[in-house]
Structure 1
Amino acid sequence: MKVSALKPAADPGSGSLRLLATFDLELSDQIRLYGLRLLQAPDGRRIVYAAQSGSRRTATFDPLLAERITQLASQTYSEATTAHGSNSKS
């Protein structure tokens, strides 16, 4: 499993969930998902949402897989923001 094309969000939005970044995910050699979102809840917890088609998400994940994806995306996000000199406290 590999995160690619991670882009920290220029505008985190004004909702209760703050957008940290969008990214693509190579789930396996056979499956790639595009446009996933790494979000941060008011309590600091991070979650990943699949892309949407209209108001409907295009995929959901088993809780254990969702946790692994969130950890990987969070690590990649932290590395990306550190590499670009961000002082973000996300």
Structure 2
Amino acid sequence: MKVSNLEATANPGGGRMEHVATFDAQVTDDILVCGMRLLRAPDGRFLSYAPTALGGRRSVTFSPETAAKITDAATRYFQEHVTANDISNRSAA
């Protein structure tokens, strides 16, 4: 599992789930999912969501085990690389 192109989100949105980053996930050597979203729940847990197609329907789904691995990898990357650079001072592009 490899996370790449992770970018912190300047506008976390107004919903209960805070959109903190967008990233790509290399799930296997043959499968790269672009445009994944990393969200933070009100209780502090991180969750990852696959990109959506027209109409808001998810374009890909994962087993619970694979989803957990994707979320763990994205969370580690986010915490180690993005927050280390203090994203709180970034302005919206």
TM-score normalised per structure 1: 0.89
SS in structure 1 of the partner of residue 77 of structure 2: helix
Percent identity of paired positions between Structure 1 and Structure 2: 44
Point out 4+ residue stretches in structure 1 off by more than 3 angstroms: none
For this pair of structures, how many residues does the alignment match? Answer: 87
Decide whether the 8 Å contact of 2:35 with 2:51 is kept in 1.
yes
Q: CA RMSD in A?
A: 1.2
TM-score normalised per structure 2: 0.87
Higher relative contact order (CA 8 A, sep 6+): 2
- Which runs of 5 or more residues in structure 1 are unaligned? none
How far does residue 45 in structure 1 lie from its aligned partner after superposition?
1.2
How far does residue 79 in structure 1 lie from its aligned partner after superposition?
1.3
- Which runs of 5 or more residues in structure 2 are unaligned? 89-93
> For 1:17-56, what per-residue CA distance to the aligned partner results, in whole angstroms no more than 9, with x for missing partners?
1101000011111110000000011111111100001210
